[in-house]
Amino acid sequence: MADTKKLFIKTYGCQMNVYDSERMAEAMGGAGYETTETPEDADMILLNTCHIREKAAEKVYSELGRFKGMKADKPDLKIGVAGCVAQAEGEEIMRRQPLVDLVVGPQAYHRLPEMEEKTRAGEKALDTDFPEEDKFEKLKGRSKAKRAPAAFLTVQEGCDKFCAFCVVPYTRGAEVSRPAERVISEAQDLVERGVREITLLGQNVNAYHGAGLNGSTWSLADLIWKLNEIDGLERIRFTTSHPNDMQDDLIAAHGECAKLMPYLHLPVQSGSDKILKRMNRSHTAESYIRLIERIRAARPDLLLSGDFIVGFPEETEEDFQATLDLIKEVKYGQAYSFKYSTRPGTPAAERPLVDDAEASERLQRLQALLSQQQKELQDAMVGREVSVLFEKEGRFEDQMVGKSDYLHAVHVAGSGAQIGDIRKVKIVESGTNSLKGVAIA
């Protein structure tokens, strides 16, 4: 029997890339690979890349440069680039870094075993197509190894919104939703392997419109209610959403579905209608605020998370103040904020930039406000009882760490809990980025 080969995957970016890396590992498992935690041990290295952040491609080239010596010492080592940078750069990656053996886009990674076989024959392999076949169905079945208690599950990919700053429509393609039956089957498999919480993933996850079990088209709310019926699945989350796709049935599910957690990531990006229009967001600050009011009417204790871009082309101080005003009105328990950076090929790329120092100063002010809100809402958790899913052991003896219903990290000592247990916990202390609690049940 041939020796098992080793695969090292480095994952950049979003939760969907984490999910994709798991599936790549499974695909290569069928080709005789098992994963390793160190590139030095690997027979194949895959960089699963993200193109969202500034200078993403240059960071990948820098990372590849670190492997030159390894490739010289180990000529049979195969190096691949996957994900969104692979989709955007294509053949340019192989031209700039000849040590790369294969380049595969995020919609074609089910073809990795065939591509790897091609590289073993001494050829280069490139596949950045958007194939018609369902990559999820082409992948070999998951192994039945026990899983961590929380898992990601991709249900939708791609985006049709074409925000002026975003490369996703070009790297992930048009919106595609997986059939509900396949999602449910994968969720059941995950639960059988120890998963108790599933986060449904999509670039625009609340735009889900998959084929339902009865021949109709299902919304995300329809899918959530069906997943709600799975015994052993205790928690459901979803990310990332677009305000324009928050339909009435999904809002209602937040108030009525006990397994749907009281946490929502709903990016707004700016509080200025002028900038939102320039961004091609297709919503206004007012419509976003009214939407939040409706969601909170359905689930008053909902913790809201958001995304913000500052220094977008043509943003004035008045526009920025409108963003601060929106944040003050909405109150976020968590948020991600960034200074605008140009993405070649996007509509905003040709527009004049805001002065960099001014944009940086705005980002500092915005992050200070968001941090203050996060601390206030986190401090308000002290004295409350929450449900915690324990996911790992803590740094100290007899300490467990888990996530609350609201996605706060919670440290609990002396609970006697095991990984995968869900316990009622009373919050007794608020730290910088986590809470401390004592088990009460």
Which residues fall in the annotated binding site for [4Fe-4S] cluster? 14, 50, 84, 159, 163, 166
* Binding site as annotated, residues: 14, 50, 84, 159, 163, 166
* Cβ pair 436, 427 in contact under 8 A: yes
Q: In this structure, is the dihedral angle defined by the CA atoms of residues 202, 168, 37 and 112, taken in order, positive or negative?
A: positive
H-only helix segments in 76-160: 84-89, 91-96, 112-120, 135-138
At residue 188, φ and ψ (nearest 5 deg) are -60, -40
Residue 277 phi/psi, 5-degree rounding, is -65, -45
Residue 306: strand pairing partners: 335
Residue 50 belongs to what H/E stretch? none
**Which residues are bridge partners to 423 per DSSP?**
388
Q: What is the DSSP code (8-state) at residue 414? A: S
Helix residue ranges per DSSP H, 280-403: 285-298, 317-330, 356-379
Q: Which two tokens stand for residue 109?
A: 């990674």
Helix axes 180-192 and 220-227, enclosed angle (nearest 10): 30
Buried/exposed code over 40-65 (b: 16+ C-beta within 10 A; e: otherwise):
eebbbbbbbbbbbeeebbebbbebbe
